[in-house]
Amino acid sequence: MDRWSDGAQGLDGVPDVAELGRLRVTVDEEFGREVAVLYERAVRFECDPALLERYEIVKFHNRMLYDEVTAAGIAVRPWTRHGQPYRDSRDLRGRVVRTGTLEVFLTARGHGPLAGGDGGEGGEGGLRHPLRGPSGVRVDGVGLQHNDLFRVAHDLFGHVMFGHSFGPAGELLAARCQMQLYPRAAWPVVFAEQVGQVCWFYYGPHRALPPGRRPYPEQKVLAFPDRFLDAFAGLFRRAEEEP
């Protein structure tokens, strides 16, 4: 992963992804619950042209990142067997580093429900979630959705690069790392798709259940108010700033 860790300036002039390796996060449960409540109460599909354009930006960069990692020699393979491809984040990182192959857990095999049925249809007025359509990428005869490419970026740059865990702290750090790869216009989408869903899973209506029995969050199209993104940014600090 050194190709993305050379210290160069990243998108919009903010520090490169390598700088994020020094970040630490404060897990604020009150923030997590507030995000979870808004996500739970939000409509399934905000028919806002400006928001949908942000999703198009995410889709474009998903494909760009996918093409870059595969061109760099990382193989992406769809996971078609039962269960999850990795036991935990350590297993994920170790196997990708050792083999150069990422097994992606397909959206079609595991994701939250969408109103109206399978295949990404549903939502308000039967609309398809922007990330649930075909990306045009086929691997081993399997068509990958835009959301699968989004997962590839999240797993590689969010978890493998810096070894972030699958728990609340690790997922928030992974989301922050993934945001770095997209222009600022796309950050509200990355926030909703990552932070919104992570907070719903850990602090939402099913938080009393063991993690293995909790459902996946419903995938929604929404934009959180700016104050949530500002509060999210405030959770992070550099390692050298720790008391």
- Is there a domain that residue 13 lies in? no
- Is there a domain that residue 5 lies in? no
Side chain identity at 112, as an amino acid letter? G
Structurally, the chain folds into a number of domains equal to 1
Cα 143 to its chain centre, rounded Å, is 19
* Contacts of residue 109, Cβ cutoff 8 Å, sequence gap at least 6: 79, 80
DSSP for 199-226 reads HHHHHSTTTTS-GGGSPPPPP-B----H
Domain membership of residue 155 as a residue range: 25-238
- Is there a domain that residue 211 lies in? yes
- Is there a domain that residue 138 lies in? yes
- The pairing of strands 23-25 and 75-79 is unpaired
CA 222, 226, 227, 230 dihedral sign is: positive
CA distances, 134 to each of 207, 239, 242 (Å)? 32, 40, 44
Whether 218 contacts 8, CB under 8 Å: no
- Is there a domain that residue 156 lies in? yes
- One digit per residue, the tens of pLDDT, for the chain of length 243 reads 333 333 334 444 444 666 788 889 999 999 999 999 999 999 999 989 999 999 999 999 999 999 999 999 999 999 999 888 998 999 999 999 999 999 999 998 876 555 434 444 444 445 789 999 999 999 999 999 999 999 999 999 999 988 899 999 999 999 999 998 899 999 999 999 999 999 999 999 999 999 889 998 999 999 899 999 999 999 998 876 665
pTM above 0.95, yes or no: no
Helices marked H in the chain: 29-41, 49-71, 89-99, 146-153, 168-179, 187-190, 197-203, 226-233
- Is there a domain that residue 15 lies in? no
Q: How many residues does the chain have?
A: 243
- Is there a domain that residue 212 lies in? yes
- The pairing of strands 134-139 and 142-145 is antiparallel
- Is there a domain that residue 208 lies in? yes
